[in-house]
Amino acid sequence: MTAGEAVPPSGLWSPGGSGPASSGHLVLPGTGLVPGPVEGWRPLSDDPRWYERAVFYEVVPRGFYDSNGDGIGDLAGVVEKLDYLAWLGVDCLWLLPYYPSPLRDGGYDVSDYYSIAPECGTVDDLARLIEEAHRRGIRVIADLVINHTSDEHAWFQESRSSRDNPKADWYVWSDDDQAMSDIRVIFCDTESSNWTWDSVRQQFYWHRFFHHQPDLNYENPEVREAIMQVVRFWLDLGLDGFRLDAAAYLYQREGTTGENLPETHAFLQRMRKEIDRDYPNRMLLAEVNQWPLDVIDYFGQGDECNMCFHFPLMPRMFMAVRREQRFPITEILAQTPPVPEGAQWGIFLRNHDELTLEMVSEDERDYMYAEYASDPRMRKNLGIRRRLAPLVENDRRVAELLHGLLLSLPGSPVLYYGDELLMGDNIYLGDRDGVRTPMQWTPDRNGGFSRADFAQLFLPPSMDPVYGFQSVNVEAGLRDQSSFLHWLHRMLGIRRQYPVFAKGELEVVPADNPSILAYVRSAAPAGGIPLGAGPSAEAGAPPDNRAVLCVNNLSRFAQSAEISLGRFEGYAPVELVGRTTFPVVGSSGYSMSLGPHGFYWLELQGG
Amino acid sequence: MAPLPSALAALAAPYLERQLWYQSAIAGLPPAPIELSNCDVLRDGRPGLSRLLLTQGSRVFQLLVGWRPATAVAGVLKGRESSLLGSALDDAEPVLVYEALADDELIIDLLEVVSGGTETAERVRRVSTLVSHASVVFDERLFMKLYRVLEEGERPEAEAMFRLDSVGFNAILAPVARWRDHGFDLALVREFLPSALEGRLLALTSLRDLLAHASGSDEHGGLRYGQDVRDADVETAAAGGDFASEMRRLGTTTARLHLALRAAFGERTMDAGVLAAGLEGAAALPEGTPGKARELAELAEEIAQLGKGAVGPALRIHGDYHLRRVMRSEIGWIVAGFADDPLYATARPHPSLPARVGSPVEDLADMCFSLHRVAVEALAQRPAAEAELAGELAAAWERRNQASFLEGYVTTPAARSLLPREPATTDALLAAFELVRERRYEATPSEE
């Protein structure tokens, strides 16, 4: 699909039906009429580096769509919404944990690696989801929680049962709780130590997260092999890869921080090697909440993780907008080393966790709390548990600007479900549930999420007067051509036409106004001249080397700036949304004016 | 071959007299002829390049001249025809002579000469031309100051840059090359950080955000002081564009600068009496508000009573430290330059100390005053109807950022050794130096 492709202004994918919707048909609301098949979706690419260009979309299966009316979202429900996601422009779904779990940490406490929580469906449902997604050109990756299990996992139950059972060393046990005491406690709001006493085994066990999530002992080769078997099981089913939860903490050792140890890298490299050997075109996306200089190691020499999240960039985008100056962003970009060939950053604005502030200074954290989490209920651990729209006070222009940054900075963007609607949160729900409320599909009962009774629902849908499902929902967004949903769909289409957004070099362009952040994405190495393709590029086969100038006004006031485009002298910038040609770049500074929180993407043509 | 020095000198004298920068440089000096003291050929042939050192009374000037055949000049000067000096004979053939700064090829040659052949460039961008020097950027990577008005001995900026670099102080635009000859500093090449911005712009951005609270504070149902605006200090601390953390970082950078200056140039004991005498001298100057003169005189008297060593050490300081002299870059704050214009030697509050040696508190006071000036500048942009509320907010902004700057300074390890032992003495010095700065500004508002 392209940015300009018409979409049915009043169209809606059937919230309940499985036939037409799942086969790529549209149902007009209220009529039940099927107007005929839409143009076929994109085929699944055979590019082994597909993830470098992909737009990811994070789905909480329990909160996305309930297909069987039990009040809990499920995998079959995700299948029913695939056409919507394909229309939006999503290339890859990232499914949050669907494994059986006591759900004391949103499913990140797995009690069985080989099946699917009954409320989420079955292994067959997942297989169908993968198949249907692939038919629409969408890949599917899933969370893999390999650092720890739930304390209800059979492995742990056996391990704790005695000191000499076959799995006695599958977890990290100790007679005292002082070992490795220098290693920080991550969930500092709820846990006072990384050790917890087990009354059955009469020993302490190690956990980097909640006490009910004992860490697996990777020193034990049996554990390493067991996890590799889990990996193979799901890849055999057809998954396109994994998001590796808490990848930095697999090993721990006295006298270290317990993070980023060489042994951890060695294990991840082994995993990558086996996947590359047996499962082509799959990928690993690491969750490593560290500074870029540490995270870069998780790419190895291009032989470890294919992708890593860039955590420090995210809070700095918010900070830059609030401070109305570019340095929070340019500073972290300057500290970000180049990635090896075949590697890519994952960048995001919000996700299922709190807006993490681990990778900022104390000053910056205080600032972020003051600006974005004035109510203590909004805070969680070292972060802010809020969705995008409330964070930016529902300011459409700021939301567009932040997405403009997200889609144009180096990395593959990861969208969080519901943010395309500017959904709100519910800070009165516990833990991080406030940002995991049901997807809002329609203004009908339960926001179209489920036909179950309200009391049965997985979490209550938002009924907030501003963000509630009555006004903020997919149906309304689709009907309104000027909605944020349509805007994002168009921008994703434009982004797809310009591969430099995905893998081009980034060159920050000097601007004489601190509120203006300008950069050029180009296929040429920084300092080189990109090959100007000009407007005559053949339709449908855009060359990969068109450079794009991105200019962002981080201020809520109109701004002008002179930007230094010296090496692009003679080029004509063409705005990508309206295709308006701007004045040709001359030998002196290039003057630009931008409205409040405005931004331009400009193709640099000619030269 | 090259045109004869005498021929070049004959062309240079009238050329200089036509230049505004030259006229400013000799303003107030007794009339004297322009004479050639040195002529060095830097590039023979065509185009050619020579360096002229010319004197006019006690002043020494540097002028770089180039020459080409007449037919080649128009394409080179491209709109900079005012750089032409005239025609001369080169190897018996006529050439046109012009100021070499107008010729990209010659400027790149010059870079190679200045850097001893270690640097070259492809693109040239001319930036500000001030009275005492011209500035050129190469490939958005290197920045060259070519001194026009020369000063015997070491140019303070070049000296400070290299000495700071040698002691490992990295919050400067790293010096790359220094061109010295005939006892003068002739040019300085430094790293150029294209995306760095002067601190004043960031401060104004912060104020713009804050003062928007005052928008429509009267008739449009906007914020009203005492109602929507809780308290100017609270509002300032809560503003999105809060600048305090930046100023704290700048305070730290400033302390590191002073520690590095001490490491590079050493320190000496400051005599309170000498310092007080300097302050009294500043208080006695006729310019400025009489009330402030009295206040300064009182502070000077108070400082004079302090014992030996009570006012902290004297060391090489920046001497003209304000928000235009510092830049924010991706690597943090950097000190972009040092005041070294021989035409604008700053009056010393304690003339018995060597030039540019003084209390580090002077620099702190300069920066605090600079924050005040930015607040005044931002306020001037707001409508008169908002003056009361905007004024309150701007004053709160000034207080908050001055405090953060000083906090960043004093909490830097070892920074307390740069200050008087008693915090009250630091406060007194700070107040006194701010008054000196204020009076200097009142006398010459354009000085900053």
SS (H, E, C) B364-406: HHHHHHHHHHHHHHHHHCCCHHHHHHHHHHHHHHHHHHHHHHH
Instruction: Please report which confidence band the pLDDT of residue B344 belongs to, taking 50, 70 and 90 as the band edges.
Output: low
pLDDT of residue B5: 84
- For residue A485, the SS3 value is helix
In this prediction the pTM is 0.82
Report DSSP letters for B300-356, one per residue: HHHHHTS-TTTT-EEEE--SS-STTTEEEETTEEEE------GGGPPPPSSTTSPTT
Question: Among candidates B244, B447, B262, B249, which has minimal Cα distance to B360?
Answer: B262
- Residues in B touching A327 (Cβ below 8 Å): 202, 328, 330
Q: Given A83, A125, A191, A245, which residue is catalytic?
A: A245
What is the C-alpha to C-alpha distance for residues B250 and B316, in angstroms, rounded to an integer? 19
What is the C-alpha to C-alpha distance for residues A441 and A17, in angstroms, rounded to an integer? 14
Residue A307 confidence (pLDDT) above 70: yes
Q: What are the pLDDT digits (tens) for B89-147?
A: 888 888 999 999 999 999 999 999 999 999 999 989 888 777 789 999 998 899 999 99
Residue A2 confidence (pLDDT) above 90: no
**Would residue A245 show up in a list of annotated catalytic residues for this protein?**
yes
Half-sphere exposure of A234 (CA within 13 A, CB side): 30
Q: What are the pLDDT digits (tens) for A34-85?
A: 333 345 677 888 899 999 999 999 999 999 999 999 999 999 999 999 999 9
- B229 DSSP 8-state letter: B
Contact indicator for A75, A61 with CB cutoff of 8 Å? yes
CA of B42 vs chain A CAs: smallest distance (Å): 28
pLDDT of residue A29: 41
Residue A14 confidence (pLDDT) above 50: no
Instruction: Please report which confidence band the pLDDT of residue B239 belongs to, taking 50, 70 and 90 as the band edges.
Output: confident
What is the C-alpha to C-alpha distance for residues A363 and B251, in angstroms, rounded to an integer? 14
End-to-end, the C-alpha distance of chain A in Å comes to 30
Asked if A567 has any chain B CB less than 8 Å from its own CB, the reply is yes
**Mutate which of A313, A321, A324, A372 to test chain B, going by most B C-beta atoms within 10 A?**
A324
Mean pLDDT calculated for residue range B219-241:
65
CA distances from A81 to A33, A77, A134 (A): 18, 7, 14
Lowest mean pLDDT among A68-82, A356-370, B425-439: A356-370
| Block residue for tokens 């100056």 | A325
| Block residue for tokens 């001298």 | B281
pLDDT of residue A527: 40
Shortest CA distance from A527: residue in chain B:
B139
Which among A330, A513, A566 has CB closest to B140? A566
Mean pLDDT calculated for residue range A554-576:
92
pLDDT of residue B346: 52
Mean pLDDT calculated for residue range B213-229:
54
Please answer yes or no on whether B242 and A323 come within 8 Å at the CB atom. Answer: yes
Torsion on CA atoms B56, B57, B60, B63, rounded to nearest 10 = 0
What is the C-alpha to C-alpha distance for residues A306 and A575, in angstroms, rounded to an integer? 32
Asked if A393 has any chain B CB less than 8 Å from its own CB, the reply is no
- A607 DSSP 8-state letter: -
Q: Given A52, A287, A354, A425, which residue is catalytic?
A: A287
Instruction: Please report which confidence band the pLDDT of residue A529 belongs to, taking 50, 70 and 90 as the band edges.
Output: very low
Question: Among candidates A87, A99, A107, A96, which has minimal Cα distance to A140?
Answer: A96
pLDDT of residue A315: 87
Contact indicator for A336, A292 with CB cutoff of 8 Å? yes
Contact indicator for B36, B53 with CB cutoff of 8 Å? yes
Report which secondary-structure segment, H or E, holds A58: strand A56-59
- For residue B421, the SS3 value is coil
**Mutate which of B124, B205, B374 to test chain A, going by most A C-beta atoms within 10 A?**
B205
Q: What's chain B's average pLDDT?
A: 87
Please answer yes or no on whether A514 and B245 come within 8 Å at the CB atom. Answer: no
CA of A485 vs chain B CAs: smallest distance (Å): 28
- Residues in B touching A566 (Cβ below 8 Å): 123, 125, 140
Residue B448 confidence (pLDDT) above 60: no
Please answer yes or no on whether A508 and B195 come within 8 Å at the CB atom. Answer: yes
C-alpha radius of gyration, chain B, whole number: 25
pLDDT of residue A285: 97
Mean pLDDT calculated for residue range B209-237:
65
What is the C-alpha to C-alpha distance for residues A171 and A173, in angstroms, rounded to an integer? 6
CA of A170 vs chain B CAs: smallest distance (Å): 45
**Which of the two residues, B221 and A74, has the higher pLDDT score?**
A74
Please answer yes or no on whether B140 and A564 come within 8 Å at the CB atom. Answer: yes
Q: Is the dihedral of CA A198, A204, A206, A210 positive or negative?
A: positive
Identity of the amino acid at A590? Y
Is the link from the previous residue into B47 a cis peptide, with omega within 30 of 0? Answer: yes
Half-sphere exposure of A359 (CA within 13 A, CB side): 23
Mean pLDDT calculated for residue range A508-517:
94
| Block residue for tokens 């609607």 | A421
| Block residue for tokens 């500290």 | A335
318-377 in chain B: CB under 8 A from chain A: 328, 330-332
Q: What's chain A's average pLDDT?
A: 87
Residue B447 confidence (pLDDT) above 60: no
Lowest mean pLDDT among A127-136, B142-151, B285-294, B304-313: B285-294
Contact indicator for A571, A606 with CB cutoff of 8 Å? yes
- Residues in B touching A555 (Cβ below 8 Å): 205, 208-209
Question: Among candidates B158, B107, B163, which has minimal Cα distance to B132?
Answer: B158
- B212 DSSP 8-state letter: G
Question: Among candidates A14, A22, A55, which has minimal Cα distance to A132?
Answer: A22
- Residues in A touching B140 (Cβ below 8 Å): 510, 564, 566
Tokens of A210: 């909640």
Please answer yes or no on whether A324 and B125 come within 8 Å at the CB atom. Answer: no
Question: Among candidates A417, A437, A440, which has minimal Cα distance to A425?
Answer: A437
Regarding an ipTM greater than 0.85, the answer is no
Asked if A323 has any chain B CB less than 8 Å from its own CB, the reply is yes
Asked if B195 has any chain A CB less than 8 Å from its own CB, the reply is yes
Residue A24 confidence (pLDDT) above 50: no
Report which secondary-structure segment, H or E, holds B65: strand B59-68
**Which of the two residues, A385 and A76, has the higher pLDDT score?**
A76
**Which of the two residues, B279 and B255, has the higher pLDDT score?**
B255
Instruction: Please report which confidence band the pLDDT of residue B221 belongs to, taking 50, 70 and 90 as the band edges.
Output: very low
Q: Residue by residue, what is the 3-state secondary structure of A274-333?
A: HHHHHCCCCEEEECCCCCHHHHHHHHCCCCCCCEEECCCHHHHHHHHHHHCCCHHHHHHH
Tokens of A493: 């289409």
Asked if B123 has any chain A CB less than 8 Å from its own CB, the reply is yes
pLDDT of residue A534: 35
pLDDT of residue B80: 84
Mean pLDDT calculated for residue range B386-412:
93
**Mutate which of B330, B407, B411 to test chain A, going by most A C-beta atoms within 10 A?**
B330
Shortest CA distance from A373: residue in chain B:
B238
What is the C-alpha to C-alpha distance for residues A252 and A303, in angstroms, rounded to an integer? 22
Instruction: Please report which confidence band the pLDDT of residue A25 belongs to, taking 50, 70 and 90 as the band edges.
Output: very low
For the range A8-14, what are the long-range contacts, defined as Cβ-Cβ under 8 Å and sequence gap of 24 or more? A8/A35, A8/A478, A9/A478, A9/A479, A9/A481, A10/A478, A10/A479, A11/A478, A12/A442, A12/A474, A12/A475, A12/A478, A13/A80, A13/A81, A13/A83, A13/A84, A13/A474, A14/A80
Which among B194, B212, B332 has CB closest to A510? B194
Contact indicator for B85, B52 with CB cutoff of 8 Å? no
- For residue A519, the SS3 value is strand
Contact indicator for A171, A156 with CB cutoff of 8 Å? yes
Count of other CB atoms within 10 angstroms of residue A565: 22
- Residues in A touching B378 (Cβ below 8 Å): none
- For residue A498, the SS3 value is coil
**Which of the two residues, A587 and A307, has the higher pLDDT score?**
A307
pLDDT of residue A378: 65
Count of other CB atoms within 10 angstroms of residue A53: 17
**Which of the two residues, A366 and A515, has the higher pLDDT score?**
A515
Lowest mean pLDDT among A129-143, A382-396, B40-54: A382-396
Residue A16 confidence (pLDDT) above 50: no
Question: Among candidates A57, A59, A63, which has minimal Cα distance to A90?
Answer: A57
What is the C-alpha to C-alpha distance for residues A597 and B106, in angstroms, rounded to an integer? 44
Lowest mean pLDDT among A213-222, A288-297, A428-437, B96-105: A428-437
Asked if B140 has any chain A CB less than 8 Å from its own CB, the reply is yes
Asked if A370 has any chain B CB less than 8 Å from its own CB, the reply is yes
Instruction: Please report which confidence band the pLDDT of residue A192 belongs to, taking 50, 70 and 90 as the band edges.
Output: very high
**Would residue A341 show up in a list of annotated catalytic residues for this protein?**
no
Residue A220 confidence (pLDDT) above 60: yes
pLDDT of residue B224: 52
Half-sphere exposure of A19 (CA within 13 A, CB side): 5
pLDDT of residue A536: 35
- Residues in A touching B125 (Cβ below 8 Å): 566
Mean pLDDT calculated for residue range A453-460:
94
